[in-house]
Amino acid sequence: MSTAPRLEAAKRDWGDDETNCTVLHIDMDAFYASLETARHPELRGRPVIIGWLGSRSVVSAANYEARKYGVNSAMPMARAKQLCPGGAFVPVDMTYYRTMSKRIFTEVFQQVTDQIEQVSVDEGYMDVSGALLLWKSPRAIGAWVRQQVARRYGITCSVGVASNKLVAKLASTNAKPDGMLMIPEARQAQFVQMMPLRAIPGIGPSLGKRLDAWGIKTVADLAQMDETALFQATRSHITAHHLFLASRGLDPRPVEPHAPEKSIGAEVTFEQDTRDMTQVRELLHHCCNEVSSTLRAKSLVARTVTVKLRFADLSYSTKSHTLEQPMDTTTVMYPESVSLLRSMLKIPANASDSTPLPREIRLAGVSASSLSDRAATPVQLSFDDMFTGGDGVDKHKSGNSRRGQPDGHPGNRSDARQQSGNHTDSTGAGTRHDDHADTGAGTNTGSQSGNHPSKRISDSQRKSVFSTPIGQSERQPQRQKRDSAPDVSQPDAARSPQDALRKAESALDAVHGKFGKHAAGLGIEHDQWKARQVAGNSHLDPRR
């Protein structure tokens, strides 16, 4: 469901020249609510509001009847009930919505072309240049898609037709609900420049304020600026170039049928605002588990960890840390998240968990970005990894001392100390993130005692350990002294700590997949936290 601003004046006939108009943007109309109405006909004509029914829940979707009462997505459910007390409040059923989305893309869109870029569960782009030999007209394709979606599934969609993705998306937004709008290539600049500034993707509250300070209030004003002036206003060459092109109706991005994921995240709203550090850490650990499990399921690794906090006044703050090594385990992600949390709230490293947080937290979440395929991602082992076995114990130290434990984590996290890198953070009152460089020091991950003895490494050894794909063994197996089978009772010295931890968490994934997420845990258990949350957030129930 698009919440972008719309202009009634834009919903008109812009001409019949279809030359180069080969990009279609298809957007389902009030997708969740429309699907619920289609499978529950008794809801037809009534305001339908989709969302969890807890006191802190927000509206996930609302149909057009509900919007007449002022109900919109992301609005607190309590407020929606005040505005529309006679509405039908329906819990979210993401399994059903995803199933229907897959059917629509497969049974309708793919009958036209395989050049489809799905950007969410309810919208996508189509490049129909290869289909025009059969279909002749892009508008004929759009009309057929709309007819098939309505006939097969009982819901409606809106279609934008243009020569690029930006204009096609703006066209579908202004065609809503249940319409189609084609913008000829020669009139794209005119169409875009009549839009409000917030219609341009990437312009949120923070950037909007910066542009307003420069006297830029409309897209037409934006089009009068050159790139140099836009850079001075935005302080970003990338953003300045994007705005320069967008204000002229230009967009060089192709339709990408297999567009890679940019980030994977999880966030949860507390049932009550809290200043309890332990509760926030428990929730971050839960989110790290969700994110790392998804990374492993998709055979991805990430290098950037981001923590998001929303405060009681609905303002938010985010802070990111880019690691030197890729990761896909909670063991690495969680201590990084705790470190970011402390940095965001300016909590001293030596402060105990009983110390009240300086601000009440409404929501917390974790996301991982800078994603890459795990099997194809090289990893550079640290010297510590080269001198330790799979259990994280330094074989060259005396005694059985373990590595230092990262801040905020209960247990030995033998690979967490590998990471140091770049921080970014942002704050705001809206939903956009205003990222900027953070000058803080890298993550504190513990200390070690003792010194490693000097050891010379040959060129062949250096090549073998510094460029090993992360999906393969990160050490060369030790040569067996005899032809007999290895003693399995001994630690596997050929396995790095990261490999061992990944194997442990992957085994836990398998247990969760078979018996449910309540069956086992690794690290901090969250039984009390889950009990506190489940009552108002049924999607957190581990038995589901």
Enumerate the active-site residues: 123
Closest CA to 479 of 494, 499, 497, 458: 494
- Provide the pairing of β-strand 361-369 with 123-127: unpaired
Write the DSSP string, 75-92. Answer: SBHHHHHHH-TTSEEE--
Q: How close are the terminal C-alpha atoms of the chain, in Å?
A: 27
Give 471's DSSP letter: T
Whether 31 and 3 have beta carbons less than 8 Å apart is answered as no
Give 140's DSSP letter: H
CA–CA distance, 232 with 472 (Å, rounded to integer): 47
Half-sphere exposure (CA, 13 Å, Cβ side) for 22? Answer: 16
Residue 27 in marked binding region: yes
At 484, which amino acid appears?
S
Write the DSSP string, 22-85. Answer: -EEEEEESSHHHHHHHHH-GGGTTS-EEES--STT-B-SEE-HHHHTTT--TTSBHHHHHHH-T
Whether 533 and 517 have beta carbons less than 8 Å apart is answered as no
| Residue position matching structure tokens 């243009």 | 162
Residue 29 in marked binding region: no
CA–CA distance, 335 with 158 (Å, rounded to integer): 45
- Find the radius of gyration of the CA atoms of the chain: 27
Whether 477 and 492 have beta carbons less than 8 Å apart is answered as no
| β-sheet bridge partners, residue 162 | 23
Residue 378 to residues 237, 325, 473, 508, Cα–Cα distance (Å): 30, 9, 11, 25
**Binding-site residue ranges for Mg(2+):** 27, 122
**Binding-site residue ranges:** 27, 122
